[in-house]
Chains A and B, each alone.
Chain A
Amino acid sequence: MTLDPAARKPMTVSALTLSVKCRLEEFYPGVLVAGEVSNFTHANSGHWYFSLKDAGATLKCVMFRGFALRARFDPKDGTQVIARGGLTLYPQRGEYQCLVEELTQQGVGSAELALRRLKEKLLQKGYFAPERKRRLPPYPRRIALIASPTGAAIRDMLQILKVRWPLAEVVVRPSRVQGDGAAVEVATAVRMLSGLHATRKLPLSAIVVGRGGGSSQDLAAFNEEVIADAIFDSAVPVVSAVGHEIDVCIADMVADYRALTPSEAMTQLCPDRGEMLDGLVDTAARLDDAVNARLALARERLTRMADRPALRKPFERIRDSEQKLDDWGARLSRAAERRLTRSGEQVAALADQLESLSPLNVLKRGFSLTTLADGRLLRSAGEVRPGDTLRTRTPDGVVVSTVTDRPGVSS
């Protein structure tokens, strides 16, 4: 055999692949292989695609519809199975695979078994008890996000927070969320934030653990006990948003709230600023209506009082106050039209004036009016000095008196 390339005609990729395929099929027409199912997909065509794996290797498998229909169980990731079939090669991808004809269940895979044991243990410890789920605060003020700093999850969460509820300060604690060591990193972050909250160094409304979608193998970190413990021990309510709709992971089960996606977590956690602003506008209108109704009532009482003959004479001033009240009422209505602009000041002034004019206060003074020498109404003992002359009008006449003392008033 010569090594001169010119002397040998090269094979095409297709020809070489076909050659390998033939040998594979010839040497492995029927194999019996045991392994754990992973990445199981039930395609629309009815074919099953999955891998069989053990600690050291992975084997791609296809089970066509006709064979899949005859299987007596639905394989899931983690199921330990024995497959019977022949090896072949899929030329387009250059991958060899096993065409499985028969699949039998061989008990539960070790990983799946460990997960079930852990779930059982945590259940016994009360980690999943509904009564220990805490309510999320209605108006969060500071939210901690644990997520990959470069992923889509953090970007989505920040974006929604910015629009819905920018009032909450955001504290980001970056962490890996998949792969070896991710579980410990997330757990450490939860503990750090919980500790800062507990010592009042950084009070928090909620901790959100967020992660975008992915295959269920990527979710493994959130099935580890170290994360469960950290969430269970957290002094702050924890929202789990690890983005997997089908499989509920242990972090989801321990958390106070489980969100299907990081975006949904933010929507559940925060009120909407726009809706609240609209609500405040409605409240302002109600407040206006209520105070106007109350003013109308006062006006009506005043009118009735002024119409009583016994009061008419000595209290011409009531007519004045009535008119003024009407004026203020109109002013307030105008204010209401412009809604509540500057209403705080107006109302304060109005309240002062109304108090001094209230006919009830006048009545309490025993139906008399006392005026100073210059005709002004006496309102306070501080306005007079000993020796001043006062005129007091009562319903049946005028009394003239001289001030002799004003106990308790400093000059």
Chain B
Amino acid sequence: MTEPTPPVRFEVALAELEKILRELEDGTTSLEDALARYERGVGILKACYGQLRDAEQRIRQLTGVGEDGSPEFKAFEHSASVEGTKPTRRAKPSADDLFG
């Protein structure tokens, strides 16, 4: 079974971002720490953003369970198949420029 590349854990990433923001906004960190946190924050933002932007729906049909207990799949086909749609365009067009 092929697993998708390990995705960002949004729960964890967003919590860390919030913590970084609080620390930066407190103004109590040293300059070096502040810049390091900023850099870390930008990294997390980029990872989250990239994953949200690039996600493509993946659908498989579970046909059963093999002898070794692993799931068995085939491509999912639906008679009234899903229309291909672009991800909804956002009100803020700067979003894509944001993280290069």
Q: Do A and B associate with each other?
A: yes
B90-A344 in contact (CB<8A): no
Residue positions of A touching B, CB distance < 8 A:
138-139, 141, 144, 149-150, 152, 154-155, 158-159, 161-163, 166-167, 169-174, 192-193, 195-196, 199, 201-202, 273-274, 276-278, 280-281, 283-284, 286-287, 290-291, 293-295, 297-298, 338-344, 347-348, 350-351, 354-355, 358
Q: How far is the CA of A195 from the CA of B70 in the complex (A)?
A: 10
Asked if residues B21 and A201 are in contact (CB atoms below 8 Å), the reply is no
Partner of A163 from the list B31, B41, B87, B90 (CB cut-off 8 Å) is B87
Known: A167-B55, A276-B52, A283-B17. A202 touches B71 (CB 8 A): yes
Contact among B48, B61, B78, B97 for A280, CB-based, below 8 A: B48
Judge whether B32 and A354 touch: CB under 8 Å.
yes
Partner of A150, one of B7, B76, B78, B100: B78
Which residue of A141, A155, A167, A281 contacts B98 across the interface (Cβ within 8 Å)? A281
Asked if A347 contacts B60 (CB within 8 A), the reply is no
User: Which residue on chain B has the smallest CB distance to residue A288?
Assistant: B38
Known: A149-B78, A350-B35. A291 touches B46 (CB 8 A): no
Does the CB pair A287–B90 fall under 8 Å?
no
A-B interface, 5 closest residue pairs, ranked by CB to CB distance from nearest: A290-B24, A139-B10, A166-B57, A351-B35, A291-B38
Nearest residue in A to B36 (C-beta to C-beta)? A351
Interface string of B1-41 (1 = CB under 8 A from A): 10010010111000001001100110101011011101101
| Residues of B contacting A154 in the complex (Cβ-Cβ under 8 angstroms) | 78
Known: A152-B80, A294-B24. A341 touches B97 (CB 8 A): yes
> CA A297 – CA B21 in complex, angstroms?
17
List 19 A-B pairs, Cβ < 8 Å.
A144-B62, A155-B82, A159-B83, A162-B85, A167-B52, A169-B60, A170-B60, A171-B73, A276-B52, A277-B95, A280-B95, A287-B38, A290-B21, A291-B35, A295-B31, A341-B100, A347-B39, A354-B35, A358-B31
In chain B, positions 81-100 with a C-beta closer than 8 Å to chain A are: 81-83, 85, 87-88, 90-92, 94-95, 97-100
Q: Which residues of A contact B95 (CB under 8 A)?
A: 277-278, 280-281
CA distance in complex: A281, B49 (Å): 9
Which positions in B face A, CB cutoff 8 Å? 1, 4, 7, 9-11, 17, 20-21, 24-25, 27, 29, 31-32, 34-36, 38-39, 41-43, 45-46, 48-49, 51-53, 55-62, 64-65, 69-71, 73, 76, 78-83, 85, 87-88, 90-92, 94-95, 97-100
**Given A201-B69, A283-B17, A294-B35, 10 other A-B contacts at CB below 8 A?**
A139-B9, A141-B7, A150-B80, A155-B80, A195-B65, A196-B65, A202-B62, A287-B17, A290-B24, A341-B100
